[in-house]
Amino acid sequence: MAATDDAEFASVDDLDEETEAAVQDLLFRLADDELVLAERYTEWQVRAPTLESDISLANIAQDELGHARLWYEVLTDFGYDETDLIWERDADDFQHSTLVEQPFEEGNWSDAIVRGYLYDVAEDAKLQALETSTFAPIRDRVGKVLGEEDYHLEFAENWLKRLAANDESRERIQAAVDRLYPYALTLFEPTNEDVEQTIVDEGLRGEDLVELRDTWHDRVSSFLESIGIEVPGLDLPDQYDVHSSPNDLPDKTGRDGDHTEHWAPLLDEMTEAYDELERDYATHIMDDE
């Protein structure tokens, strides 16, 4: 592993129990978000509006799967293997945000584009905050992931600009934003406040979730408003301690393993072949890099 000199935690062995739990929590949220979003994206295969868009979205899904793999690989340092992390994991052990598990409205391309946009802006902010992580195995991987994110954002923004130029499709974007915005807020929910406090105190992530959410909200609303889309304001409660959850958060955030009814069937579908073949190991068609 390169560039570990100024890291407080060069590897798993340097972590105390509390910090180890926080690192794992951070990694599970990162990896699970990427995995489930990619799985949903693949539903657009052969259904996107043009061949070119189809290939582009499939390419983005592959990128996200690759990012998930990078984060899951760090988790294998904690003793997990791929079967524990994906194939034999219970649905309520997954910690992804409920944004990424929502089914697409059938044939609604705006839904896919808006979701990708809300997600990628959040991922971009999150990754930038991880560039200074005190945990070297995370920090060292950020560059690789960020290198692919530019395309995702460019793809989403270019589509949004063009869709917004037409009344009918602008209304569809607005409807998708209205529907998905509360779910997008769950991207900035902690698993619990103590874990989030450890993540910030130990410098595992350079910014806390509230700062990330503000960054995300500013960028998303200024862009969307520039193309004629209204974005709800952040409706925050008056009283809060460590992390303030917005009032319009959906019932299920996903972060604590509590998911919407759409997740269990998606996981079943994803692991169907593994279960049917009665596998107890993960198949690798390529050696890890």
Partner 1 sequence: MIWEVFRQNQAGDYHTHCGNVHAPDREMALLFAEVQHGRRKPTNSLWVVPQDEIGEVDAEETKFGGTTDKSYRFARTYNVEPAAEEVEASEKELNQAERKRGDA
Q: Measured from the CB atom, is 13 or 52 closer to partner 1?
A: 52
| Shortest distance in whole angstroms from residue 159 CB to partner 1 | 8
Closest approach of partner 1 to the CB of residue 52, in Å: 4
Reported as type and span, the H/E element at residue 117 is helix 109-130
- Nearest approach in angstroms of CB 263 to partner 1 is 29
In angstroms, rounded to a whole number, what is the distance separating the alpha carbons of residues 50 and 81? 38
The nearest distance, CB 66 to partner 1, in angstroms, is 13
C-alpha closest to that of 180 among 270, 246, 265, 105: 105
Of 3 and 51, the one with the shorter C-beta distance to partner 1 is: 51
Q: Which residues contact 224 (CB under 8 A, 6 or more apart)?
A: 160, 177, 230, 231
Q: Return the number of the residue (44 or 72) whose C-beta is nearest partner 1.
A: 44
Of 61 and 212, CB closest to partner 1: 61
Could you tell me the two tokens for 271?
A: 């692991």
Place of tokens 């991987």: 141
Q: What angle do CA 210, 117, 265 make, to 5 degrees?
A: 90
Residue 50 vs 239, nearer CB to partner 1 = 50
Distance CA 271, CA 13 (A): 32
User: What single string gives the DSSP state of each residue in 250-268?
Assistant: -S--STTS---TTHHHHHH
**How far apart are CB 27 and partner 1 at their closest, in Å?**
28
Q: Which of 157, 148, 159 is nearest to 52 (CA)?
A: 159
The binding site for partner 1 (CB under 8 A) comprises 50-53, 55-56, 59, 151, 154-155, 158, 162
- Per-residue DSSP letter, 183: H
**Closer by beta carbon to partner 1, 12 or else 48:** 48
For residue 56, the minimal CB distance to partner 1 (Å) is: 5
Distance of CA 119 to the CA centre of its chain: 6
Residue number, 150 or 201, with CB nearest to partner 1: 150
Is 225 buried (19+), middle (13-18) or exposed (0-12) by CB count in 10 A? Answer: exposed
Instruction: For the CB of residue 146, give the shortest distance to partner 1 in the complex, in Å.
Output: 17
Residue 135, classed as helix, strand or coil, is: strand
